[in-house]
Amino acid sequence: MSNAPTPGGPDDQRLARAIAAFVRAEFKAPVDIVSSFIDLVTEDAVRDRLSGFEADLLKMKSSSETLGSVIEGLLDTSAAQRSLSERELGDFTATLRHELRTPITAIMGYGELLLEEAREEGLPGLVETLDGLLAASRRLLGGIDSMIEFIHSGSLTTTHGDDAEGSDAVEKAVATLSSIFAERPTPVGRATGYLLVVDDNPSSLDLLTRRLERDGHRVCGCGDGEAALRLSANESFDLILLDFLMPNLNGVDVLRQLRAVPETASVPVVMMSGSDEVESAVRCIEAGADDLMQKPLDPILLRSRISSLIERKALRDREQAYVAELRIERERSEQLLRAMLPGPVVERLRGGETVIADHFDAATILFCDIVGFTTLASRLPAARTIALLNTVFSSLDGLAKANGLEKIKTIGDAYLVAGGLPNARPDHALAVARMAVAIPEAVAAAGRSAGEHLEARIGMHTGPVAAGVIGTDKFVYDVWGDTVNVASRMETNGVPGRVHVSEAVRTALGDAFAYEPLPPMMIKGKGAMQTFLLS
């Protein structure tokens, strides 16, 4: 046999009386507080002779009295018992929602308007009193909504259902309601930002703007889609609140255009709609809305969603800034790496090669040295010496780049360049020779700019070369072999202001240049060699 309580029986009556007594006590206190605040505001207005506040204060006072009457009328024991035992809970909660929320919403609306005026008039005492009134009103409204949700959810019936004794049911119901009315700390540190509000209803636009500004946001408002697109193109908004239905260009069309532009594609957009049709929601989501809220907007829910979306955007902005910073650092590292290593070698290292060592059957090596630079450096300050070398080597870098050659390194005042590597080319000797004959004037010009007389000694040799990357912490692309050594000897034994080349270079160049043969000379490690000066 079922132990379910009989509708309207002793258990229901006990539960109804307990809830009525509890709610009356819990609601009476906040209602009295709201009423007291209204009296305080009225006293402040009378004291400061604020006749412009009188009409709104009378309306607030009337709403407060209505609220008190509703509490006494709806929640006496017999009325609550009848509501729970004789009527559907849906009807009961609908009545509560309408008759309780209507007066408190009116009090809050007029209170917010008076608060704005008090701030504009510079009345700090009145502002403080109105802040207290609105805080008390919000707490009362939250309690009303929570109680209605509790009743509507069916918790009352399940609380005193088959598994509960009558006395336990009363205690559980009252305990649950007690938790509803417990004072909750006001959230602090909510994210604020620069918001765009778009609504073709001037009153709605004004009220929403003022509400958002009160929450600490900076707000820009407009009344149509065209204005919204113009503003978003010129301003950087953190979030956009966009009305669904507007003349000419509706909210969905505006949203699609916002998403089509890179500058606004990622700005959070909350659509506001007076319709609860599924089709409307689908259109908004498909167009790229981040959220959809029904009008009239719930202030607490709106505040929470705006804060959440702004925080999400801030995280995304920080992530994008971090990615951009990484990209910049990567580009900088790339530039540094390419300054140290040839481009093709960099690509091979990226491809996973750990050992770069190549043999070239034919390449041309050029050494250049500044004549008498050691003596010059001994009489110049260090900073001026470095500046002079930088000017000279910058000029040689330009010549190497113009001729498609690879600068290998500098050693003191010596400059080493190669042709035909890291990519082989048949005209390597000709390319290096063209650079070589331009070096004497480039070095002399650099000296003249610094007020110094400079001459270059240049040597070239052609032959097989080994090249590769050495080092683990500091990469260096270098060349080795007999060809490098002979090119160095050509420079050491050369003539200031002239290009000294080996017979191998003479053969490789053919008739491209005129040559002045020199008497055979002894080259260390090679013996007697026939060499030439390019003319």
pLDDT at 24: 54
Cα separation, 407 vs 416, in Å, equals 6
Task: Judge contact between 483 and 461, C-beta under 8 A.
Answer: yes
Residue 497 neighbours by CB under 8 Å, 6+ apart: 440, 455, 456, 457
Task: Judge contact between 169 and 11, C-beta under 8 A.
Answer: yes
How does the average pLDDT of the chain come out, rounded?
79
User: Which residues are bridge partners to 366 per DSSP?
Assistant: 417, 460
Q: Is the pLDDT of residue 131 over 70?
A: yes
Q: Is the pLDDT of residue 323 over 50?
A: yes
For domain 343-534, the CATH architecture is 2-Layer Sandwich (3.30)
Q: 47-80, pLDDT tens digit by residue?
A: 777 777 878 888 888 888 887 777 766 554 444 4
Tokens of 151: 């009743």
Query: How does DSSP assign 83-135, residue by residue?
Result: HHHHS-HHHHHHHHHHHHHHHHHHHHHHHHHHHHHHHHHT-HHHHHHHHHHHH
Q: Is the pLDDT of residue 94 over 80?
A: no
Residue 188 neighbours by CB under 8 Å, 6+ apart: none
Per-position b or e across 119-139, b if 16+ CB within 10 A of its CB: eeeebeebbebbebbbebbeb
pLDDT-derived band at 415, boundaries 50, 70, 90: very high
Task: Judge contact between 109 and 54, C-beta under 8 A.
Answer: no
Residue 216 neighbours by CB under 8 Å, 6+ apart: 190, 192
* Domain boundaries along the sequence of the chain: 10-181, 194-316, 343-534
First to last CA, the chain: 123
Q: Is the pLDDT of residue 188 over 50?
A: no
Ranked by mean pLDDT, which of 187-191, 376-380, 454-458 comes out on top? 454-458
pLDDT at 270: 92
Mean pLDDT of 278-298: 81
pLDDT at 90: 54
Task: Judge contact between 268 and 236, C-beta under 8 A.
Answer: no
Q: 453-493, pLDDT tens digit by residue?
A: 899 999 999 999 998 887 766 678 889 899 999 999 999 99
Cβ burial of 273 (10 Å; 0-12, 13-18, 19+) is: buried
Q: 339-368, pLDDT tens digit by residue?
A: 777 777 777 777 777 778 889 999 999 999
SS3 of 274, please? coil
Residue 267 neighbours by CB under 8 Å, 6+ apart: 232, 237, 238, 239, 240, 258, 313
Task: Judge contact between 196 and 240, C-beta under 8 A.
Answer: yes
Query: Is CATH 3.40.50.2300 what the domain over 194-316 is classified as, yes or no?
Result: yes
Q: What percent of the chain has pLDDT over 70?
A: 79
Dihedral (CA of 279, 282, 283, 289) sign: positive
Compute φ and ψ for 291, nearest 5 degrees: -160, 160
Cα separation, 505 vs 511, in Å, equals 11
pLDDT at 87: 45
- The answer, yes or no, to whether the previous bond of 422 is cis (omega within 30 of 0) is yes
Task: Report strand pairing: 291-294 vs 269-273.
Answer: parallel
pLDDT at 91: 57
pLDDT-derived band at 412, boundaries 50, 70, 90: confident
pLDDT at 150: 62
- Short-list 248, 325, 324, 255, CA closest to 286: 255
Q: How far apart, in Å, are the Cα atoms of 292 and each of 23, 72, 193, 221, 271? A: 34, 38, 19, 19, 5
Cα separation, 530 vs 535, in Å, equals 16
Q: 8-34, pLDDT tens digit by residue?
A: 455 555 555 555 555 555 566 667 777
Task: Kindly calculate the radius of gyration of the chain based on its CA atoms and give it in whole angstroms.
Answer: 44
At 478, which amino acid appears?
D
pLDDT at 83: 44
Angle at 124 between CA 120 and CA 127, to 5 degrees: 75
Mean pLDDT of 331-345: 75
